[in-house]
Structure 1
Amino acid sequence: MLSPVEMVELWRGPFRESVHSGHAVICGPGGQIVQAWGNPDQVILPRSSTKMIQALPLIESGAAKAFGLTQQQLAFACASHEGAALHSQMATDWLTSLGLGDKDLLCGPEAPRDREAKFAMIRAYEKPCHIHHNCSGKHCGFLTLGQHLNVGPEYVEPDHPVQQAVRDAFEHVTGMESPGFGVDGCSAPNFATTVHGLARAMAYFASAGAGDGRSRAAAALRDAIIAHPVHVAGEGRACTRLMRACAGRAAVKTGAEGVFTAIVPEKGLGIAVKIVDGTTRASESAIAGLLVQAGVLDPTHPDARRYLDTPLKNARGTEIGRMRSLLG
């Protein structure tokens, strides 16, 4: 079995203090491996990096059209957001349009990750709601699909028609049968695949557009993510920063436990990376390096430098080291 390779290093003065290793794959338009690091066949849980796959049935079923969803809502359905006012209001308005409320979301309540929203809630002695959960957009999409299919409200159950539709789409675009699933932080099933399978899925989105309804749905979601990066993550987040730095040339999506994906339409490339220790700082640095390798991120852009060669400062603001991507 191929071992993970070093992808990100941290230096403190003259000492290489830490290193993060992982697996990564870049796939071409046909799903073939263009370049790989570590073990392409490593089985992983992709976590939120596959929300665009989970949103495919929302469009291909006709639900998105029937409910008149906007491109911003399609982007929001793929989001791991900050719970900023923009995000919580979008979730509230979406639920209202369905005749539903906060408690119909099954993701659970979560404090906003947006500082302004979080502190405003604390000052007002308010409690977090389901709409503030970073996955509330995805769950609004699940509820919309459920209403369209006229099925029951327990949409996170693995045998529910909503999740069965998700699994069908997932196995099609990854090109393999999933070996199983784990329950995600938002209570929905998260289907496993390999790093190659995940990159193959992103390549499917990269080349999507013509052909059947699923391909057209993938293109619509890809384009929505690229057009509305702040709806997908939030100000200051790596996904939003890197997509803006790529200037419309790539869709980028994070997942928990060190997973990141990218879609590069102009070259038909799909990218997947998994940091084995699950560290977000390392996956952000690694995906930035892979976007540089793909030729869609200028390594001199300030938001590229932020992740490719990050200064580490102590409490006094003194630079005491660097974090560097070994991939770009």
Structure 2
Amino acid sequence: MANAVPMVELWRGELLESTHQGHAVICNGQGEITAAWGDPGRVIFPRSSCKMLQALPLVESGAADAVGLTPAQLALSCASHQGAALHVGAVRDWLTGLGLAESDLRCGSHEPYDRAERDRLIRAEEGPCQYHNNCSGKHAGFLTYSRHIKAGPEYVDPDHPLQRAIRAAFEEVTGETSPGFGIDGCSAPNFATTVAGLARAMGWFAAARETGDARARAAHRLTRAMAQFPDFVAGEGRACTELMRAMEGRVALKTGAEAVFVAILPEQDLGIALKIEDGSTRASEAAIVGLLVHLGVLDPDHPAARKRLNAVQRNWRGMETGIVKLAPGFL
């Protein structure tokens, strides 16, 4: 078993202040590892980075087409959104169209990350609801599938037919039997896999075409929807949205809590998965930018890239204090 390797550093003046270590794997569409750093066998919870895997039953089963879901809604089914008015309205309209309500969700509520919507709630003396949950789009997809197969309302139960379908798809696409699951922040099971397994799944998504079998066609549609509608996947100021915009729809990206990040590169038939050991989002964003630049799909001078890698740190007076960059030897 290999150890984590240094990937990202923070320098303050002439002193190395912090080092973030992690693991990363690149796989091709045939499931072969083409490059790896750290331990490809490191078992992780992919957290929200695997939402496109969790959405496979929604599309593959025909549930999405049965209710006429749009590409924007498919992107929302893979989202960790900001809870902005755009996202809240889209989820509300989706469920209303199904004859369902906010109370049918099982994700719980939290304050929206979007400042404008948060301030609107404060001014209106309203509390957040489940539509504001960053996973409410995924849960709308869960409800759509559950309604399609006429399953019970407790769709986050690990033994629910939906979760069994997700686990089966997850294990087939990662090429691994999951060693278990944890309960995610939105109450849904999150199945564990290795970094290599997650990269293998992303490589499979990259190679999926609309001429393939039902599962491959579902993967192709989800990937294209994410790349076409990056605003629905995350939101303003977020890495997933800004970096997908920068690459003009050629790559689909998804982050997850505790510094997991994945990328799907259809033009290269490559998938990337990475995990930063200390859970630092700063480091996972810098590392994914470095890998995308390394593979030639992201301009290192694009503002979305420079915001996260080789990013000058400034204090509240605007003084330059440090820089975030890749560790020597990584890439």
Number of the residue aligned with 1:299:
300
Q: Which residue pairs with 1:83 in the alignment?
A: 83
TM-score by length of 1: 0.99
**Structure 1 residue 246: deviation in Å?**
1.2
Which residue does the alignment assign to 1:125? 125
After TM superposition, the structure 1 stretch with the greater mean CA deviation from structure 2, 39-48 or 241-250, is 241-250
Matched-pair contact (CA < 8 Å) for 2:182–2:191: yes
- In 2: Cα distance, 1:249 partner to 1:60 partner: 23
Match of 2:243 in 1: 242
Aligned residue runs from structure 1 range 7-26, under 5 A: 7-26=7-26
1:224 lines up with 2:225 in the alignment? yes
Q: Residue by residue, what CA displacement relative to the aligned partner does 1:85-141 show, whole Å, maximum 9, x if unpaired?
A: 000000100110111111111000111100111111111111010000000000000
Q: Is the 8 A contact 2:179 2:192 kept in 1?
A: yes
What is the RMSD computed on CA atoms of the aligned residues? 0.8
* One-letter amino acid of the counterpart of residue 195, structure 1: V
SS in structure 2 opposite 1:236?
Answer: coil
Give the C-alpha shift of residue 325 in structure 1: 2.6
Q: CA deviation at 1:288?
A: 0.6
Residue equivalent to 1:29: 29
Q: Is the 8 A contact 1:105 1:136 kept in 2?
A: yes
Shift of 1:161: 0.3
Count of residue pairs brought into register by the alignment = 328
AA matched with 1:168: A
Separation (CA, whole Å) in 2 of partners of 1:47 and 1:250:
20
Q: Within 2, Cα distance between the matches of 1:248 and 1:154?
A: 35
The answer to whether structure 1 residue 54 and structure 2 residue 50 are counterparts is no
Give 2:149's aligned amino acid. Answer: L
- Identity across matched positions, percent: 62
The residue aligned with 1:318 is: 319
Q: Secondary structure at the match of 2:16?
A: strand
Q: Which amino acid aligns with 2:312?
A: P
How far 1:248 moved relative to its partner?
Answer: 1.6
- Residue of structure 2 in register with 1:45 after alignment: 45
The CA deviation string for residues 6-53 of structure 1, in whole angstroms up to 9 with x for no partner, is: 111001111100010000000012111110000000000000000000
In structure 2, distance between residues paired with 1:22 and 1:77:
28
Contact 2:28-2:204 at 8 Å conserved across structures: no
Shift of 1:212: 1.0
Q: Aligned equivalents of 1:294 and 1:192: distance in 2?
A: 27
Conserved? CA contact 1:307–1:325, under 8 Å: no
Displacement over 6 Å in runs of 4+: none
Amino acid in the other structure paired with 1:224: A
* Contact 1:72-1:231 at 8 Å conserved across structures: yes
What per-residue deviation string (whole Å, max 9, x for no partner) do you get for residues 277-311 of structure 1?
01111111111111111211111111111111111
Contact 2:91-2:140 at 8 Å conserved across structures: yes
Equivalents in 1 of 2:295, 2:153: separation in Å?
42
**What CA distance in whole angstroms lies between the structure 1 residues aligned with 2:74 and 2:97?**
15
What one-letter code is carried by the residue in structure 2 that aligns with 1:184?
Answer: D
Distance in 1 between the 2:213 and 2:192 partners? 25
Alignment correspondent of 1:194: 194
2:130 alignment partner AA: H
